[in-house]
Amino acid sequence: MEPILEVKDLSISFTQYGRGTKQVLLPVIRDLSLTIAPGQVVAVVGSSGSGKSLLAHGILGILPYNSHMAGEITFLGQPLTPKRAEKVRGKEIVLVPQGVTYLDPLMKVGPQIRKGRWDQSARQASRAVLERYGLGADTEERYPFELSGGMARRVLIATAAAETPKLVIADEPTPGLDARSAKRVLGHFREMADSGAGVLLITHDLELALTIADRVAVFYAGETVEEANAADFTAGKLRHPYTRALWNALPQNGFVPIPGAQPGPGEVGEGCPFAPRCPKQQPECLGPVPYREWDGGLVHCLDPEGGE
Ligand SMILES: Nc1ncnc2c1ncn2[C@@H]1O[C@H](COP(=O)(O)OP(=O)(O)O)[C@@H](O)[C@H]1O
Ligand SMILES: [Mg+2]
């Protein structure tokens, strides 16, 4: 089946001013590749500052003016040029944004979902989509400040789902929600995939991602360190030392902390960005590290677990 989204060798950097008027290019995402098939939930898991939101904004063509993007993005078999991105944004490709502040605080929920359409069928459609997400018809008349956190999240999802998109990008859709509401919100994304859409789920929460994802890409300092089937994670087949460390840091796996901190943009050399914190570090890790195909996935490590 033709993939919904293909991202190949994507890099994103920012122009910043150094000393005086000298411009410096600050790389944030490097050589990222990712494929989403119809019906698939692909999770991108990474800690704060690893470049997750930039990836979403890069696909949508809404990066800030001082940024540069290189690489290829293909949507439904055609290049996703800035012009095409603008055309499909909010329709075939929707973003469920990171913050509920994306809702217009001065506009009632109903008109936000209908996006300016007032006819009877638009009204029926917005009621139906609210109902689908467990929100009563009275929600239409509320302003965003009158919604609880969980309701606001569901309104954002309803706004996205109202367009029957081909690709849904969810940027950290669960923070601030209790475990039950978070599971419910993720369940809605699973449903969208089950009805044929591709879902890119961006999160820092590996455990939660695994409850709905088909594939997982683990992101560290702007690089994919590992990409694998979600089932491999639950089976304990983790290849990259960072993925392993992330797994061991989960409460149910012993809460083992990872010493050190993720390097920021501009602090990464040509070698592996995790090397300074890696228990398996070798001198070669400071040089270029190729991606390797590994058991139905990819790993970005010279000495992955399970190797000979
Ligand atoms: N407009 C910008 N100019 C310069 N650097 C930026 C800009 N936006 C984001 N960054 C940097 O890019 C990195 C990744 O940001 P982001 O994608 O928001 O991370 P995440 O969503 O994974 O928390 C951060 O270190 C941030 O400082
Ligand atoms: Mg973010």
pLDDT number for residue 307: 55
Strands 41-45 and 198-203: parallel
Q: Helix H segments across 120-200?
A: 120-132, 149-161, 179-194
- Our answer on whether the CB atom of 14 is closer than 6 Å to any ligand 1 atom is yes
The Cβ of residue 94 has, within 10 Å, a number of other Cβ atoms equal to: 26
Ligand with an atom nearest the CA of residue 97: 2
Confidence band for 160, pLDDT divided at 50, 70 and 90: confident
Q: Which two tokens stand for residue 128?
A: 């139906």
Q: Strand, coil or helix: what is 167?
A: strand
CA–centroid distance, residue 202 to ligand 2 (Å): 8
Contact 137, 108 (CB under 8 A): no
- Cα 275 to chain centroid distance, Å, stands at 24
CA–centroid distance, residue 203 to ligand 2 (Å): 8
The average pLDDT across 212-228 equals 92
Residue 308 pLDDT > 70: no
Q: Which two tokens stand for residue 97?
A: 């944004």
CA distance 119 to 230: 43
- Our answer on whether the CB atom of 65 is closer than 6 Å to any ligand 1 atom is no
The average pLDDT across 224-236 equals 86
Q: Which two tokens stand for residue 6?
A: 């293909």
pLDDT number for residue 252: 84
Q: Which two tokens stand for residue 200?
A: 């890119």
pLDDT number for residue 6: 96
Q: Which amino acid is at 83?
A: K
CA distance 44 to 102: 21
What tens digit of pLDDT does each residue of 241-276 get?
A: 999 888 888 888 888 888 888 998 888 888 999 999
